[in-house]
Amino acid sequence: MSLHDTSKSANCTAMSDVLNRIGDKWSVMVVGMLGRNGTLRFNELKRMINGVSQRMLTLTLRNLERDGLVTRTIYPEVPPRVEYGLTEMGKTLDGPISKLWDWSAEHHAAIIDARAVYDARESAMAAAEPRKVAYARGD
């Protein structure tokens, strides 16, 4: 299926389905880390991804594995060793995600500045407007 004709309902559904998985921040971080570092163990990933909880990382890895983007390899050792890596399809996301990371690093300061300007403008406008009071009707 081609996504070139965005007017088709199936294309919108496909885009929505894929973005729901790879568009969340933890999935982007996991795919990015695996793309940049290769195969990693769970605790290595957890240390590299600032702020992710053990539960959220587990769910993210499980969902990425379900979607065919991540492989999970269990080695029969004591204690068992589990490693995660990108599948061939997962590796195709490495380029776009790397570009997104690079873009984010390059533009983050400008985004922070833009937010500050916007927030200051919104605060000034809110302070200048007379307060609106809603009254309940006592019917």
Tens-place pLDDT, residues 33-65: 999 999 999 999 999 999 999 999 999 999 999
- 139 pLDDT band (50/70/90 cuts)? low
Other Cβ atoms within 10 Å of 31 Cβ, number = 23
Is the separation of the CB atoms in 28 and 40 below 8 Å? no
The predicted-structure confidence for 98-137, as pLDDT tens digits, reads as follows 898 899 999 999 999 999 999 999 888 888 876 666 666 6
pLDDT at 5: 58
pLDDT at 13: 82
d(CA 93, CA 88): 9
- How far apart, in Å, do the first and last CA atoms of the chain sit? 58
Query: Hey, what amino acid is at 4?
Result: H
Structure-block tokens of residue 118: 């916007």
d(CA 49, CA 33): 8
- Say yes or no: domain 12-128 is CATH 1.10.1060.10: no
pLDDT at 6: 57
C-alpha separations of 76 from 39, 44, 62, 69, 82 in Å:
17, 19, 20, 23, 9
pTM above 0.85, yes or no: no
pLDDT at 1: 47
pLDDT for residue 4 is more than 90: no
User: In 3D, which of 85, 57, 69 has the Cα closest to residue 22?
Assistant: 69
Domain extents in the chain: 12-128
